[in-house]
Amino acid sequence: MPKLTDRFGRTIDYLRLSVTDRCDLRCTYCMPEGFHDFETPDHWLSFDEIERVVAAFGRLGVSRVRLTGGEPLVRKGLPELAARLGELAEIDDLSLSTNAVQLARHAEALHAAGVRRLNVSLDTLDPARFAAITKGKLEKVIDGLMAAKAAGFAPIKINMVVMKGVNDDEVEAMVDFCLEHGFTLRFIETMPMGETGQAASDTYLDLREVRARLEQRFELLPGVMPGGGPARYVQVAGSDLKIGFITPISQHFCESCNRVRLSVDGTLYLCLGQEHHLGLREPLRAGVSDAGLEALIREAIELKPERHEFQDHPGQVVRFMSMTGG
Ligand code: SAM
Ligand code: SF4
């Protein structure tokens, strides 16, 4: 199998695929309120185009694909796309990041399509606070999570962006919730993505503080999580609960970065925190051959920068997280 390796010796085997830049929530740190400047669907890759790109990545050694967004479940026909990608021989790990608002309706179809691993954003267990952070209804998310559990997804990871003075008092409650339901828990530091992420920077909390707090109540053993990505994991002694800390700001993890991101308009972004990119939509629509597509992907990988610069240049990223998919 040919490998995609970048200038810094990192092997790229993971593609994050943003299937829409729209969302049915408005998380304060992510999607601007009144944000209507969406790419028109004409500019979105069709399912055929997405499948071609993913197949090309597969031939180049990428075996893991995550569907994300925006909110992937607002893209019409998502389970159908998942099934098509799940049938590609080279892709052996298909996963989904979702806010779970519409998950109850789609959980079974997605599981049948071959999606197994699920990441669900959940920052609070308090309905009023949930509404304040996301403009949505907590109840739907909980229904979605329970439907996913019943459908057999494993692991189900809860992603909680921990914000000082907003939800940091709920860290222990979220641990209890995940213990009760057998979910994995991941805490995330706020990143200065787009204006919204930059505005949320004053609620930034160094997760080392959260970890120290948890150590007062739980015994935390060193843990590992297969396919765990950038999170550093611990295991809560006496339980199956794994807790991950995603610390792009306080302890960046760029040296082990294994991923690139394809936005819904067919732009390949080489780093979440940098602008380096290469457009695939035009060549696709101009009839590029499979070999030509693979050559373009290899060319793009050459552009992958060594690291993000959230800390040195926090004002530089103009993209919202919803464009390139977290
Ligand atoms: N809508 C889906 C969801 O919420 O899981 C998938 C896309 S969302 C952009 C992916 C992840 O990015 C979520 O876990 C969300 O909490 C996180 N995210 C968005 N903006 C962020 C920011 N400024 N800092 C840290 N995490 C952020
Ligand atoms: Fe939507 Fe996910 Fe962004 Fe929240 S984090 S606004 S759910 S895309």
- Is omega for the bond preceding 155 within 30 degrees of 0, making it cis? yes
Structure tokens at 62: 């990428």
Q: Is 84 helix (H, G, I), strand (E, B) or coil?
A: helix
Helices and strands, number each (H, E), in the chain: 11, 12
Ligand 2, residue 31: give the atom nearest the CA.
6
Tell which wins on pLDDT, 273 or 172.
172
pLDDT band at 2 (very low <50, low <70, confident <90, very high): low
- Mutate which of 19, 28, 30, 98 for ligand 2? The one with the most ligand atoms within 8 Å of its CB, which is 30
Nearest to 263, CA basis, from 86, 8, 94, 22: 22
Contact 169, 124 (CB under 8 A): no
Strand partners, 279: 267
Q: What is the pLDDT of residue 325?
A: 59
Residue nearest to atom 10 of ligand 1 (CA): 326
pLDDT band for position 40 (50/70/90)?
low
Report CA(293)–ligand 1 centroid distance (Å).
29
User: Which positions ≥6 away from 271 have C-beta within 8 Å?
Assistant: 254, 257, 304, 305, 307, 308
At 282-305, the pLDDT tens digits run: 999 999 999 999 999 999 999 888
Between 271 and 230, where is the model more confident? Answer: 271
Instruction: Break the chain into its structural domains and give their ranges.
Output: 14-324
Helix 47-59 and helix 290-301: axis angle, to 10°? Answer: 70
Which residue owns the Cα nearest ligand 2 atom 4?
27
The CATH number, out of the four listed (3.20.20.70, 3.30.70.1350, 3.40.50.720, 3.40.50.410), of the domain defined by the range 14-324:
3.20.20.70
Atom of ligand 1 nearest to the CA of 120: 5
At 31 the pLDDT is: 84
Q: pLDDT by residue (tens digit) across 48-67?
A: 999 999 999 999 999 999 99
Q: Are residues 23 and 75 in contact, defined by beta-carbon separation less than 8 angstroms?
A: no
Centroid of ligand 2 to alpha carbon of 298 (angstroms): 30
* Whether the predicted pLDDT of 309 surpasses 80: no
Identify the residues whose C-beta falls under 6 Å from ligand 2: 23, 25-27, 30-31, 69-71, 99, 121, 321-322
pLDDT in tens, 72-105: 999 999 999 999 999 999 999 999 999 999 999 9
Is-contact 72 35, C-beta < 8 A?
A: no
CB under 6 Å to ligand 1: residues?
A: 23, 29-30, 68-69, 71, 97-99, 121, 159, 161, 188, 190-191, 193, 197, 200, 321-322, 325-326
CA–CA distance, 271 with 263 (Å, rounded to integer)? 12
